[in-house]
Structure 1
Amino acid sequence: MATNKKSSDAAKDPGKGAASSTNGGPVTPTQISLLDSRKSQNIAIVLRSLALSRQDILDALVEGRGLPADVLERLTKIAPTKDEEALIRDYAGNPAKLADAESFLFHILRAVSSPFLRLEAMLFRSNYEHEVAHLKQSLQTLELACKELKNRGLFLKLLEAVLKAGNLMNAGTARGNAQAFNLSALCKLSDVKSTDGSTTLLHFVVEEVIRSEGKRLVVNRNHSLRRSGISGPTLDRTTSRAAREEREKEYIKLGLPIVGGISDEFANAKKAAGIDYDVLSGTCASLGARLAEIKRFVDTCSGDGFVIEMRAFMGSAEEELKAVRGEQARVLELVKSTTEYYQPGASKDKGSHPLQLFVIVRDFLNMVDKACVDIARNLQRRRPADAGSASKAGSKALSAAADQSSESGRKPMARFPYLPPNFMTENSKSDSSSDDDDEPS
């Protein structure tokens, strides 16, 4: 604390606070400042902004209630240091001559024991409910995110499409028969471009899933109509190439809303990516430690309303924190098992972030959303005459499939270079999908 000699002398003898005018005549000071002038001024500004009397604040300190969180926060910020507190307590002069800040501190320090510790305890109580509610909300988000990722739905279809594409691209190599791939590579799909640069692996995979979902709708619709004995519209595969291309276009149109809405299915997974794990894991410990500290302080106070209020709060808070700790342990174990489901061994890697899975999923889904927008835009631009004219380039592994696709009206598959070694992992056979419009799925 910075105090000038004038302030120190004034605390001992207010008469020494008088200054002399330039002509030698005495000037009687209107107020006595004991604190650093800047701090004294700042405290006075805060006090004026509260629109509360000193008695209102004293009553709240004794009763342990009556002040909103914003007032409590501002009051805790004007707490004096130990040296400043001692200086004000030792003031033996006329309290009426003290400056506004010093006068407030003088009366509050003498009227109530440890007033600023009381304010801090009351502020903690005011903020506690919000902090615990935020923690509970984060845990609920993580649990729902894990459930979203464990549902076998469209997300897994996208992953399977990535795996199949990777196996086709790496056919003939040691990595051409993989049953899994590095999940972090999902965010690099847009970096893998076709040999002619016309598309990316991301757009290729997304469009294949869109087509598959659109075709599934048509097949299931036709199957349902046949079972009902209703003659529905059919697509004759023996018609002209233009008609076949229209069929492919219909698949894309029908599948786009499905794949384009995937982010809605993973709202919690995307939200979980923004959770601060360090804050999440440390909140219970932090609240518990602060609660224990306040309990020790309350035990030293006399039995006034403040003590009664705080003990009632601490009793319920301790029980709630115990329950939240158990819930947190359960949810974090669920996060661990979900991570292991998608990234075996990742949870044992000390260098990996516990919530990295959700970050990968969020970024990948954002990329899928953008790819769907691009595909929809390209579909609108595509003319029926050249709807099937895409890149003629294709990898050796995809060339046969490209020939078959052109015969059925589909655009030839793009060719891609071999994927990097760390993209595909583990060996297993992959399945191929049927291209029959009459078989329901």
Structure 2
Amino acid sequence: MFLKLLEAVLKTGNRMNIGTNRGDAHAFKLDTLLKLVDIKGADGKTNLLHFVVQEIIKSEGARVVSSSPNQSPVSAFQDELELKKLGLQVVSGLSSQLINVKKGAAMDTDSLSLETSEIANGITKVKEVVAEVKQETGVERFLDSMESFLNKAEEEITEMQSQGSNVMKMVKEVTEYFHGNSETHPSRIFAVVRDFLTILDQVCEEVGRVNERTVYRSVAPSNQTVTPLFQSENG
């Protein structure tokens, strides 16, 4: 769903900027998602994200209906509002799907890496102490226990460091893919998506209320709503 939303934002931006040098974009930085609510419609209340969500929920509602073996699109879902309700459930569920992104945004990766290194250094120091104790007598049981502990601890900390390196490598790759700037702090991508999900949740609630209020009104074709609502950017 996240990729579908990104695609919808890109298509909407290109439609708005048709005829300009921005009208044939193939990508955009994720930071742009946070600016969608700043592009207001003629009523001063509707923003670009409202429009994008309205477009997606119609297509997603139709997709849900077409994939349901127990429902008839003609008899059970002939009301467009019902289609939008189904689609809105799909879009509003994105926040739950990306719950780990929110957790990632709350993590301090630098501190986590530092703490892992400190644990590894601590294990090394313990090994040095155990090596000195080996010269003493009557400590065989203690040495056996410590060696078993150290072997397990070394394996776990090595695995932890390896996984941490792999995770940060993948995060950097994702950051470069979506942001195009390898110098950007890798964790920023989590913060951007987290903030966008908060905005999206609010917009989904607002769209749901608007659709409920217009239950008895006909829905205007989408190709008649883009131009009057949002102005194209020149340049």
TM-score range, shorter chain: 0.7 to 0.9
What is the match of residue 181 of structure 1? 28
* Structure-1-length-normalised TM-score: 0.47
Q: Please state if 1:361 is matched with 2:193.
A: yes
Can you list the C-alpha shifts for 1:290-316, whole angstroms capped at 9, x where unaligned?
A: 222233334444554655543432232
Root mean square deviation, CA, Å: 2.9
Greater gyration radius: 1
- My pick for the range that moved more, 264-273 or 202-211, is 264-273
Can you list the C-alpha shifts for 1:100-145, whole angstroms capped at 9, x where unaligned?
A: xxxxxxxxxxxxxxxxxxxxxxxxxxxxxxxxxxxxxxxxxxxxxx
Q: Please state if 1:417 is matched with 2:211.
A: no
2:8–2:56 contact (8 Å) kept in structure 1: yes
Can you list the C-alpha shifts for 1:395-428, whole angstroms capped at 9, x where unaligned?
A: xxx9xx20xxxxxxxxx3452234597xxxxxxx
- Distance in 2 separating the partners of 1:294 and 1:383: 70
User: Structure 1 residue 210: deviation in Å?
Assistant: 0.8
What is the match of residue 198 of structure 1? 45
Q: Please state if 1:337 is matched with 2:151.
A: no
Can you list the C-alpha shifts for 1:213-264, whole angstroms capped at 9, x where unaligned?
A: 112234455xx68xxxx9x4538xxxxxxxxxx7432321221111111122
1:210–1:259 contact (8 Å) kept in structure 2: yes
2:109–2:187 contact (8 Å) kept in structure 1: yes
What is the match of residue 4 of structure 1? none
Q: Please state if 1:262 is matched with 2:94.
A: yes
Moved over 6 A (4+): none
- Distance in 1 separating the partners of 2:73 and 2:130: 79
* Structure-2-length-normalised TM-score: 0.83
- Specify the code of the residue in structure 1 equivalent to 2:74: T
Distance change (3 Å), C-alpha of 1:282 and 1:419:
farther
User: Structure 1 residue 207: deviation in Å?
Assistant: 1.4
Distance change (3 Å), C-alpha of 1:295 and 1:233:
closer
- Distance in 2 separating the partners of 1:181 and 1:354: 17
Distance change (3 Å), C-alpha of 1:261 and 1:233:
closer
- Distance in 1 separating the partners of 2:121 and 2:24: 53
User: Structure 1 residue 327: deviation in Å?
Assistant: 2.2
- Distance in 1 separating the partners of 2:234 and 2:206: 26
Can you list the C-alpha shifts for 1:39-80, whole angstroms capped at 9, x where unaligned?
A: xxxxxxxxxxxxxxxxxxxxxxxxxxxxxxxxxxxxxxxxxx
- Distance in 2 separating the partners of 1:217 and 1:293: 59
- Distance in 1 separating the partners of 2:52 and 2:4: 10
What is the match of residue 379 of structure 1? 211
Size of the aligned set, in residue pairs, is 228
Q: Please state if 1:234 is matched with 2:108.
A: no
- Specify the code of the residue in structure 2 equivalent to 1:324: M
Can you list the C-alpha shifts for 1:310-355, whole angstroms capped at 9, x where unaligned?
A: 34322321222222222222222222222233223x2x21xx2112
2:157 counterpart (292, 317, 321):
321
What is the match of residue 159 of structure 1? 6
- Specify the code of the residue in structure 1 equivalent to 2:21: A
1:277–1:354 contact (8 Å) kept in structure 2: no
- Distance in 2 separating the partners of 1:163 and 1:376: 23
1:292 counterpart (106, 124, 137):
124
1:202–1:371 contact (8 Å) kept in structure 2: yes
1:166–1:419 contact (8 Å) kept in structure 2: no
Q: Please state if 1:279 is matched with 2:114.
A: no
- Specify the code of the residue in structure 2 equivalent to 1:213: E
What is the match of residue 64 of structure 2? 217
Distance change (3 Å), C-alpha of 1:166 and 1:306:
same
More helix by share: 2
- Distance in 2 separating the partners of 1:233 and 1:275: 45
Q: Report which structure shows greater RCO (CA 8 Å, sep ≥6).
A: 2
Distance change (3 Å), C-alpha of 1:249 and 1:295:
same
Unaligned runs of 5+ residues in structure 2 are none
- Distance in 2 separating the partners of 1:379 and 1:195: 18
Pairs within 5 Å for 1:295-306? 295-301=127-133, 302=136, 304=139
- Distance in 1 separating the partners of 2:152 and 2:64: 54
Q: Please state if 1:251 is matched with 2:83.
A: yes
